[in-house]
Homo-oligomer: A and B are copies of this chain.
């Protein structure tokens, strides 16, 4: 029942009648992604917004020296895309890869635009998503400005205990903005 989770997620914010529900679901399609497969590649158009039905994904970007920075991890029931490029029809600046064999429900940018035009009640749902995303990123900025590497690591563990099992140390380091070597040292010092 991939769509049950999706509906539940959206109905937290909007009450839907049968017609709206049917129309909404008609816009999503299911897509399986194998572990290590890329859902989005830097430079490609970013046409889809993804709901994680099952599995785990990661978005990251590369700087000019080839260093990876993880933007976010997405577990079950999370949404993920390269939001800036999705919203502005720009070529992607990020990669999105599957950390495990996963299943996503994807909606095309045009479909989302149509949805919001045809049924403006969905505006609220999307607004709340953006609100939450904004305040989450703002907290992350503050943490990056004020915390030491070790404190950032501790906070990540406390905030996202489920994510830690799905990712490598290198991926976590690239989310925290430190080197994998140094994260290794931090972990050793905890023992």
**Which residue numbers of A lie inside 8 Å of B, CB to CB?**
61, 63, 67, 69, 71, 83-84, 87, 116, 120-121, 123-124, 126-127, 130-131, 133-135, 137-142, 144-146, 174, 177
Most B C-beta atoms less than 10 A away, residue of A87, A131, A142, A174: A131
CB-CB < 8 A to A127: which residues of B? 123, 126-127, 130
Contact between chains at B142 and A141 (CB < 8 Å) = no
Check A144 against B83 for contact (C-beta < 8 Å). Answer: no
Asked whether A84 and B120 contact (CB < 8 A) given A69-B145, A69-B146, the answer is no
Which of A124, A130, A134 has the most chain B CB within a 10 Å cutoff? A134
Q: Is the interface of A mostly helix, strand, loop or mixed?
A: helix
Other-chain residue from B83, B116, B135, B140 in contact with A141 (beta carbon distance below 8 A): B140
Contact check, A130 vs B120: say whether CB atoms are below 8 A apart: no
Find chain B residues with CB under 8 A from A135 CB: 83-84, 87
A122 to chain B, nearest CB (A): 9
Given the interface pairs A87-B135, A120-B120, A127-B130, the reply to whether A141 lies near B71 with Cβ below 8 Å is yes
